[in-house]
Amino acid sequence: MKSALSSLLSLLVLLACCVFRATAASDKPLKPCTVVSPTTERFFDLSGLRRTLAKDGDRKKEADEGSWHAKGYDYGANFTINFCGPVVEELRDVQDLDEKLWRNVSAFYERGDRQYAIGLENSEPMFRGKKLILNYTGGSLCPSPSGPKRAPHRDGDDKHRDGDDKHRDGDDGHKDKGKHGGDSPTRRKTTVISLLCESDPLGKSSISFVAAVDDCTYFFEGRSRHACGIVHADAQTLSPGGVFGVIAFIAVGVYFVGGCVYQRTVMHQRGWRQLPNYAMWAGIWRFFADMFIILTSSCARFMPSRRGYSRLTLGPDRDTRGRGRRDESENRLIDQLDEEWDD
């Protein structure tokens, strides 16, 4: 009885471990450029939108020819953007940004000979309500809020820059002391990309420019099948086959444990007879044992015979020594019977 209880306890522990593993898997950190919707629990993977350079020896694909491009129309500049990674193009002179950060620029535009970053690399998409967005921050300096508004491509007026060049160290969140006097907040260009689902199976991914606020915040809209979302497969610790295997294992365990308890307590069986349906399992064992004997005996006939001395014949009436001794005993018995008959 104690052994049966211990077996049932072990099964319960196994089930608890499976539940704990499922709970732990739900807390597993997501891969870069992926997110799970807090409202629909659907899984979004935007890594398929990231463009990279073709490796040496690989055939150059259309997706590897460059980053994504969006026309600015009335803004007067076109935009180059990449998703969850830096742009593929090589940057040469990014304004108001330290050179070591040029390789992290994920969005920029050009005005004349100057390049303006509108956001650094970010591989963590997020949800604003039901909207899937990707936010890039830390770009070039925004134009100064004081004084007349001017386009960021003009070369003459440098009032929006700090005199001591402290803004060039890549710091995008602190306050710098500029020529305007006093402390003024340093604002850097930011990009917000809203991603929509492209339900058309033949539709291609695209990105378009929406608006720019004070030449500081830029809004884009992207459409792609990668933004449609799928069922979060990582939340499942076991595949369907694994779940079926666990259920089958538990069923077999309950069958044997319950059968042993019944045979021991009700039928008062001991030893191997405690197993449920002992006669059936014993018959199966005997069947396989008999089949093994039959197969081994059949194979023995195909084995080569022993080589050695053969039996010798000793005469016409005695084929072997054993046969000769038997004939002599028979003759003595016949002679003895003849003598008794004559008496």
Q: What is the pLDDT of residues 199-257, one digit of tens each?
A: 887 888 999 999 998 889 999 999 999 999 887 655 555 667 777 788 888 888 888 88
Q: Which two tokens stand for residue 12?
A: 């319960």
Q: Checking phi first, is residue 242 left (phi over 0); if not, alpha (psi -120 to 50) or beta?
A: alpha
Question: Do 261 and 4 meet the contact criterion of CB atoms below 8 Å apart?
Answer: yes
Please give the average per-residue pLDDT across 132-153, as a whole number: 75
The Cα 187–Cα 138 span in angstroms is: 8
Using CA atoms of 144, 149, 150, 156 in order, give the dihedral in degrees to the nearest 10.
-60
Q: Which pair of tokens denotes residue 119?
A: 């956001």
Q: Check residues 179 and 271 and name the one with the higher pLDDT.
A: 271
Alpha-helical segments (H) within the chain: 2-26, 240-265, 278-300, 321-342
* pLDDT, position 28: 66
Report residue 293: phi and psi, to 5°. -65, -45
Q: What b/e sequence results for 118-130 when a residue is b if at least 16 CB atoms lie within 10 Å of its CB, and e otherwise?
A: bbbbbbebeeeee
d(CA 186, CA 169): 12
Place of tokens 């040469």: 92
Secondary structure class of 119 (helix, strand, coil): strand
pLDDT at residue number 183 = 45
pLDDT in tens, 85-122: 999 999 988 999 999 999 999 999 999 889 999 999 99
Q: Does the pLDDT of residue 33 top 90, yes or no?
A: yes
Which uninterrupted H or E stretch holds 213?
strand 206-213
Higher pLDDT, 172 or 113: 113
What's residue 336's pLDDT? 78
pLDDT computed for residue 124 by the predictor: 94
pLDDT digits (tens, 9 = 90+) for 151-161: 444 343 443 34
In angstroms, the CA 139 to CA 169 distance is: 12
Question: For residue range 245-287, what is the model confidence (pLDDT) as tens digits?
Answer: 888 888 888 888 888 888 888 888 888 888 888 888 888 888 8
Domains with residue ranges and CATH for the chain:
30-53+64-143+186-232 (2.70.130.10), 243-298 (no CATH)
